[in-house]
Chains A and B, each alone.
Chain A
Amino acid sequence: MPYGYTGKVLHVNLTKGELEIEEPDEKFYRTYMGGSAMGLHYVLKETPAGVDPFSPDNVLALCTGVLTGTPVSGQSRLTSVAKSPLTGCIGDAQGGGYFPAEMKFSGFDAVIIKGKSPKPVYLWMHHGEAELRDAGHLWGLTTGDAEDKLKEELDDKRIEVLQIGPAGENLVRFSALISMSNRANGRTGMGAVMGSKNLKAVVVRGKMKPAVSNPEKFKEIQKLAKVNLEPTGMDGFGKYGTPGVTTPQHKAGGLPTYNFNSGNFDKHEEIDGLKLYNEHLRGHEKDDQNRFGRDTCFSCSIKCKRVAQIDEGPFKTDAKYGGPEYETLATFGSYCGISDMDAIIHANALCNMYGMDTISCGATIAWAMECWEEGKITAEDTGGIELQYGNAEAMAKITEMIANREGFGEILAEGSKKAAEIIGRGTEDYLITSKGQEAPAHMPQVKRSLSVIYAANPFGADHESSEHDPGYKAYPERMKEIGLTNPQEKLALNKEMMRFAMITQHLSSAVDSLSVCAFVFGASFQLYSPEELVKTVNAVMGWDVDMKEILEVGERRLNMLRAFNSREGVGRESDTLPKKMFKRPLEGGRSDGYVLDEGEWEVALEDYYRLCDWDVETGHPSLRKMESLGLGWVVAENEALSHAIT
C-alpha cells in the first residue's frame, strides 16, 4: 500500500452514468503531488480547446493532495479546477474543513467529473466504492437543508458533503462549492460548473486512513506545531481568526473601502476581529467563545474558523453557516461602506446557504453601489432598491436576489464585469476586476508586488497566490530558505520584488498542489516554514524531495494554469489591472494619494515575464520552459497550443 495517497482516481461520466477507477503510478504523484497540479493534468488532457464552461465537455477536477488525511495541521484541503464561467480562463479554488480528509478516507484521492447528468444526481463515495444517486429531492434546497437530508437518508451523521446551493443550480457565475454548510471552495465559479452538470453534491465517508512512511519524523512535525504556535503568533491568529487583520490593514492604509477608492475605513473597529470575538461569536455572553465560537479543519491545532449566531431581528442567522472571514468583512463591509456587523454576518451566511463566493458577491455589490453614487445605475435598474454606500438592508436583499437571479440580481449574478457590459453607460470605469474576477481585500496600491500578481495570475486577481510585500522584510530567515535575501523598501516595484513575487508564487502554487492550508505552510507568518513543509512531505511519503523540487512542483502548476489560458487564446492582453488603480489616487488615511504608475508597472510586468521565461510580447510560456518542467506533452497534445507556445 502506498504512503499518503490511496492510489485511486475516480472518473465520472455523468452523461453516461459511468464510473471508472484509474490507478496512477507513484511517478505521477511525485510529479504533481495532488490538488491544483493534479487537477490541471486532467483538465488539460480532457477538455477540448475553446470549451464552453457550462458545456458537458468542461471537466471539473476535485483533488486532495498526498498529505491530506494524515494527522498534521493544515492538510485537509481540496482543490477544484475547471474552466471558469466567471473569467473564461482557467478556474481554481481551494477549500478546507473535514470533507477533504474524509474523501481520502473514503478511498479516493481525486474525482474527475465530465458530462452532464440528464437529471439531478449526487455522487456517494464510501469505503472504496462509488455510485451515483438521484438528487431530485435535494435540488433547490439550501446547503444546510440538503446536508441534513443526506445525513438522514444515508443514516450516518459523520458523512461529509461538498455541494452546490441554489446559486450553483442557477448558474450564478461566482457560485461556490460548500462543505459543512460553511466552508467554501469560493473563487472562480466552480459551483456553477457543478450546477451545469446537474450534480448537486459529492458525499463521502470512510475509514481508510492514509499510511505514514516515517512515524518518528512525523511525530516531530506534529510536536513542532505546539512549539511554533506562540513565536509565529498563530495562537492569536486562531483566537481572532483572519478578522484580526482588519484593523492592522486599515492602519497600513490597505483596507479597501468604498469600492477600492480608499484604504481607510473610519468605522473599521465596528467590523474587526476583536469586535467579532467579543460581541458576536457564539458563546460570547458566557465568555466561552473558544469553545462555542471557534471551529477548525480536520486535525488542525490553529482553529481559526468563526462561528456566529444572531437570534433575532432582520439579520437572524443560524450558527451552522459559520462566521465571516476578513475578506468577507471587507467586501460586504468596508468595500460597501457598511459597518453593521450583524448585516455582514448575515450576508456571509446567505452566501454559505445559497453557495456563493463572498469576495465576488460583496465586491460586485460594492461596484453597483459606486455606480449608483455616480448616477450610472438608478432605481429603474434596481427595481427601486437604493444602493447608496452604507445601506446594509439593501446589501442583504441584493445578495439574496443574486442567488435567486431575481430582478436586478439577474444581472449581478453574471459578475461585475459582465454586468458592466450589459449595462454599459461607462459603468466599466468602476470595475475592480482582473480577468473578470473581483479583487480580494488586499490593495495593490499598498502592496506593490501584488499588483503584478493580481494582473498576471491565470485565474484572476488573487491574494493567496504569493506572499505579500511586507513579508519579505519581516521574515528574513524563512525567505532565505527559498532563496530570497534582498528585501526592498516599502512600495518598491523593481526586479527584486518581481523575483520575490515569482518565487513566493511558486511556493504558493506548491502549497495549492500539495493542497495544504496557506495559513499553516509558507514563507512568512505561517505555522510551518518552507523547510518544515519539505520535512512533512518526506516524513509522510518516504521521499527525498528538497526545496528545489517542491518549488518546481509549484512552477509546473503555474505554467499549466498559464498554458490552459494560452490554449484558450488568452495571453498578455488579459494581464491588466482595473483602470482606477492607475488613474485615481487613494483618498484618506495612511495611503492617501497612493496610485500606481502605469509606465513603471509595465516595466515590472515585463521583468516578471522574463523571470518566468514567458514571451514578453504574448505572455505565453516558452516551449523551453514547458519542456524543462516535463510539460512538453501539454503542447504536443493541443493543436492550438503548438501555435501559441514556441
Chain B
Amino acid sequence: MGPLVDYLPDSDRGKTALKLNDESTIADMLQKLQIKRKVVVAVNGDEEKGLDHVLIDGDEVLVFSIISGG
C-alpha cells in the first residue's frame, strides 16, 4: 500500500489476493512481486516476522515502506 501500489497494477488500490506456492516465505512473495526495495511486511497485523517466515493460506499481508515525515 502507499507508494507500493504500482507493484500491483491490476489491483483494487493495492489490494489483491495472491496465489503462492505452499511453504512460500515473505521473501518469496516479495520476489514474486519483484519488490527489491526496503519494505516492512506485517502478517495479520504483526510486523515482527522475518523474511523467512512461512505464509499460510488466508494470511493478510501488508507491505509498506516506512516513511515518516510530512
Interface residues of A (CB under 8 A from B): 230-233, 236-237, 239-240, 242, 244-248, 251, 269, 272-274, 325-327, 359, 440-442, 447, 463-464, 467-468, 470-471, 474-475, 489-490, 518-519, 524-525, 590
B62 to chain A: closest residue by CB: A251
Instruction: Kindly list chain A residues whose C-beta atoms are within 8 Å of the C-beta of B69.
Output: 242, 245, 326, 463-464, 518-519
A235 to chain B: closest residue by CB: B3
3 A-B pairs with the lowest CB-CB distances in the bound complex, closest first: A236-B3, A327-B70, A468-B68
| Chain B, 38-69, CB within 8 A of any chain A CB | 38-40, 42, 45, 47-48, 62, 64-69
A231 to B39, CA, bound (A): 10
A463 to B70, CA, bound (A): 8
Interface contact A233-B40, CB-CB below 8 Å: no
B6 at the interface (CB under 8 A from A): yes
Interface contact A232-B37, CB-CB below 8 Å: yes
Contact of B68 among A232, A236, A471, A490 (CB under 8 A): A471
A471 to B67, CA, bound (A): 8
| Chain B, 1-59, CB within 8 A of any chain A CB | 1-6, 13-14, 36-40, 42, 45, 47-48
Task: Tell me whether A236 and B13 are in contact in the complex, defined as CB-CB below 8 angstroms, given that A441-B70, A525-B38 are known contacts.
Answer: no
Instruction: Kindly list chain B residues whose C-beta atoms are within 8 Å of the C-beta of A232.
Output: 37-38
Interface contact B64-A251, CB-CB below 8 Å: yes
| Closest chain B CB from A203 CB (angstroms) | 28
B4 to chain A: closest residue by CB: A236
| Closest chain B CB from A255 CB (angstroms) | 12
Instruction: Kindly list chain B residues whose C-beta atoms are within 8 Å of the C-beta of A240.
Output: 2-3
Contact of A248 among B2, B13, B38 (CB under 8 A): B2
A489 to B47, CA, bound (A): 10
A474 to B38, CA, bound (A): 8
Instruction: Kindly list chain B residues whose C-beta atoms are within 8 Å of the C-beta of A489.
Output: 48
Contact of A524 among B3, B64, B68, B70 (CB under 8 A): B68
A518 to B70, CA, bound (A): 10
Interface contact B47-A490, CB-CB below 8 Å: yes
Interface contact A233-B39, CB-CB below 8 Å: yes
Task: Tell me whether A231 and B70 are in contact in the complex, defined as CB-CB below 8 angstroms, given that A239-B3, A248-B2, A490-B48 are known contacts.
Answer: no
Instruction: Kindly list chain A residues whose C-beta atoms are within 8 Å of the C-beta of B2.
Output: 236, 240, 244-248, 272-273
Task: Tell me whether A470 and B45 are in contact in the complex, defined as CB-CB below 8 angstroms, given that A247-B1, A525-B68 are known contacts.
Answer: no
A selection of 22 A-B contacts at a CB cut-off of 8 Å is: A231-B36, A231-B38, A232-B37, A233-B39, A233-B65, A236-B3, A236-B4, A236-B37, A237-B3, A237-B65, A239-B3, A240-B2, A244-B3, A244-B67, A245-B68, A247-B2, A273-B2, A326-B69, A442-B68, A464-B69, A474-B66, A518-B69
B46 to chain A: closest residue by CB: A490
Instruction: Kindly list chain B residues whose C-beta atoms are within 8 Å of the C-beta of A245.
Output: 2, 67-69
Instruction: Kindly list chain A residues whose C-beta atoms are within 8 Å of the C-beta of B36.
Output: 230-231
Instruction: Kindly list chain A residues whose C-beta atoms are within 8 Å of the C-beta of B65.
Output: 233, 236-237, 248, 525
Of the listed residues B1, B38, B48, B70, the one surrounded by the most CB atoms of chain A closer than 10 A to its CB is B70
Interface contact A525-B70, CB-CB below 8 Å: no
A18 to B8, CA, bound (A): 61
A244 to B4, CA, bound (A): 9
A245 to B4, CA, bound (A): 10
Interface contact B66-A524, CB-CB below 8 Å: yes
| Closest chain A CB from B53 CB (angstroms) | 15
Contact of B13 among A274, A327, A359, A440 (CB under 8 A): A274
Interface contact B66-A590, CB-CB below 8 Å: no
Of the listed residues B38, B45, B68, the one surrounded by the most CB atoms of chain A closer than 10 A to its CB is B68
A358 to chain B: closest residue by CB: B70
| Closest chain B CB from A174 CB (angstroms) | 15
Interface contact B70-A248, CB-CB below 8 Å: no
| Closest chain B CB from A397 CB (angstroms) | 25
Instruction: Kindly list chain A residues whose C-beta atoms are within 8 Å of the C-beta of B47.
Output: 470, 490
A237 to B65, CA, bound (A): 9
Contact of B37 among A230, A359, A470, A490 (CB under 8 A): A230
A186 to chain B: closest residue by CB: B70
Contact of A525 among B48, B62, B66 (CB under 8 A): B66
Instruction: Kindly list chain A residues whose C-beta atoms are within 8 Å of the C-beta of B64.
Output: 248, 251
B1 to chain A: closest residue by CB: A247
Of the listed residues B2, B42, B45, B48, the one surrounded by the most CB atoms of chain A closer than 10 A to its CB is B2
| Closest chain B CB from A457 CB (angstroms) | 15
Interface contact A464-B70, CB-CB below 8 Å: yes
A474 to B65, CA, bound (A): 9
A441 to B42, CA, bound (A): 22
Instruction: Kindly list chain B residues whose C-beta atoms are within 8 Å of the C-beta of A273.
Output: 2-3
Instruction: Kindly list chain B residues whose C-beta atoms are within 8 Å of the C-beta of A525.
Output: 38, 65-68
B70 to chain A: closest residue by CB: A327
Known: A232-B38, A251-B64; 11 extra A-B contacts, CB below 8 A, are A236-B6, A236-B37, A242-B67, A244-B67, A245-B69, A247-B1, A248-B65, A251-B62, A442-B70, A490-B47, A525-B38
| Closest chain A CB from B6 CB (angstroms) | 7
Interface contact B70-A475, CB-CB below 8 Å: no
A560 to B64, CA, bound (A): 37
A230 to B65, CA, bound (A): 12
Instruction: Kindly list chain A residues whose C-beta atoms are within 8 Å of the C-beta of B62.
Output: 248, 251
Interface contact B40-A474, CB-CB below 8 Å: yes
Interface contact B5-A470, CB-CB below 8 Å: no
A519 to B1, CA, bound (A): 19
Instruction: Kindly list chain A residues whose C-beta atoms are within 8 Å of the C-beta of B37.
Output: 230-233, 236
